[in-house]
Amino acid sequence: MRDQWSNAYGMHGYEKTDHTPRLQTSLEFANPPPPYEFFGAGRQADVRPSRATGTSGGGGGRCFGRLGGGCCSTLSAAELNVNVINNNKNGVAPVRRSSREAEGHAARGGGSASSALCMSAASTGTAANDITKAVDNAKRLTEGDLANLELAKGPAELSRRRAVLNQAYQECERITGIFAKTFYLGTKFMSPVARKAVWAIYVWCRRTDDIVDGPRAMVRGKKSMQKDLTDWATRLDNVWEGKPRDALDLALVDVRENYPTLPIAPFKDMIDGMIMDVPGIGKNRYQTFEELELYCYRVAGTVGLMVLPILGTADGVSEEDAKFPALSLGIALQLTNILRDVGEDAVRGRIYLPLEDLEKFGVDPENIMNGILDSNYKDLMRYQIARARFYYKQAARGIPMLSPEGRLPVQASLDMYGKILTAIEGNNYDNFRKRAYISKTEKLLTLPFSYAKSLNPGEINTNIDDSEFKLTRFDKLEMEREAFPTGEDDQF
C-alpha cells in the first residue's frame, strides 16, 4: 500500500512527477529580508497581502490552508485580510472584514479580493499592530547562536535553550492565533505538547509559502525564486539534523524530537509545490483532474501527513492505515477552497477547474474569466461539488482511526468546511459574485454535533483501496449529468 500511495503522488523517495502545486498563505511586509528569513522588520504603514489574500499585488497560493492545517483544519482556518496602505494614492479605504466569512469579497473594478485566509480584527490598524508585534518578537528570538543550543549540556545552556524554546512556541501560538483563528481554536482541544507541535508546523508552512508569495516574489526572477526554494530545502534538512538557524526552526527541531515518526517527505513535497507559483514555470491551468489532484496533495494533503503523527492513531491502527483518509481530507478541503474562490482566482488569471471538465460541460474558459453564470456552469459546479463530497466521505472513514484526542478537530473540519459546499448551492452556484461562508453562529452550533460524532466515530475500516480513493475515475460514481447530490443530505 505504501508504494501505491506514495507513487500516486510523487512522494520523495518514490517515483517523481513533474506536476507541482503550491501552498496558499502569505504574509507581506515592506522591505523584508530574504523570503526564507520569513520574519523581518516591517512598516505598519504599508502592509500588503499578496495574491494569497487576493489583493492588488499579485501572488497567492492556496492552503492552509491553507494549514489544512494540522488536523487539516488549517484549511478551514480563519485568516488575516489587511489592506492598510496609509499612502493609498487612489484614496480607497482599507478593506475591513469582521471574519473569514467576509474574506475574499471579490471587489471587481479595482477593489481587493481577499483569498482563502482571513482573520477577525477590530480594525485593519489593530491587525497591522499585531503583525508588527509578531515580526518584532520573532526577530528578537532569532538573536544569538541558536545552533549551539542543540549542543547544550550544562545547566545554564539547557536553561537558556528551554527559555528560547518556550518563547519560540509562544510566538508560533501568537502567529497561529492571529492568522488562523478557527484552526487555532481547534488546537485547544489537543494536549499541550500536540498543540505546540501543530503551531510550529503551521508557522513553517507559512514561511514556506512566503518564498513564492512574499513581497520580494513580485520583483524577483524565476532563478532567484528557485534558489530560495533550494536554500529553504537545505534548511529543512538542517532542521531534521537538529541544526536550527533561528528560534522558529528550533521549535520544529523540538517537534521532530518529540515525534520521531514525523516524516520529512511531505515537507519536501510542499517545497516542491512552490515551483507551481514561480512565474514562467508554474501552471495557471490544469488539463485533467489528475493534475489538479496532485496540486491538492502538495497544497493540502501534505499537511494531513505532517500532522498525522501528532494527532495519533487509535489502538491497533498504524499511521500507514490512516494516510489515505488524511490525504482525502486535505484534498477535500482544497477542492472546497477552489470551488469557493473561482471568481477570485479568475481575477488573478487562474482557473483551477480541470479544462477537461469545462469541455465536458460546454463551459468556455473565457466565460469563467468573465464571470458568466449559465446553466452549463451550474451543472459543472454540481459535478465538482459531488467530487469534493466524495473526498469528504473518504476522509470521514478515517475519524475512528485517529486517537480519541485527535478526532474532534478533524471532525469539526469535516463538518464546518463541508457546509461551504452547501453555501455555494444556496448561492445558486454563483461563486463569481457571492462569497460562500459559514457564520460564526453556525460554527458554534456545529461544534456540539461534531463533538458527539467524535465520541462515536463508528467502526474502524482500514480496507480502503487506491482505486476507490482516487476519484479521478469519476465513472465509479455512476452519476448522470442530470442527477447530482444536493446539500440536503450533506452528511459525512
Q: Which comes out higher in pLDDT, residue 412 or 200?
A: 200
- 296-312 pLDDT, tens digit per residue, is 898 789 999 999 999 99
Q: Which comes out higher in pLDDT, residue 469 or 45?
A: 469
478: left (phi over 0), alpha (psi -120 to 50) or beta: left
Strands 84-85 and 46-47, sheet pairing = antiparallel
Residue 477 DSSP symbol: G
* Per-residue cell: 305: 501527513
Give the CATH number for residue 125: 1.10.600.10
pLDDT of residue 214: 67
- 180-216 pLDDT, tens digit per residue, is 776 787 788 888 999 999 999 999 998 888 787 766 6
Q: Under a CB-based contact definition with an 8 Å cutoff, are residues 85 and 201 in contact?
A: no
What percent of the chain stands above pLDDT 70? 60
What percent of the chain stands above pLDDT 90? 36
Structural domain of 281: 2-489
**Domain count along the chain:** 1
Mean pLDDT, residues 39-57 taken together: 30
Least confident interval from 49-53, 265-269, 294-298: 49-53
pLDDT of residue 71: 32
Q: In the beta sheet, which residues pair with residue 402? A: 313
3-state secondary structure of 145: coil
Return the closest-CA partner of residue 354 out of 332, 369, 338. 338
Mean pLDDT, residues 250-271 taken together: 94
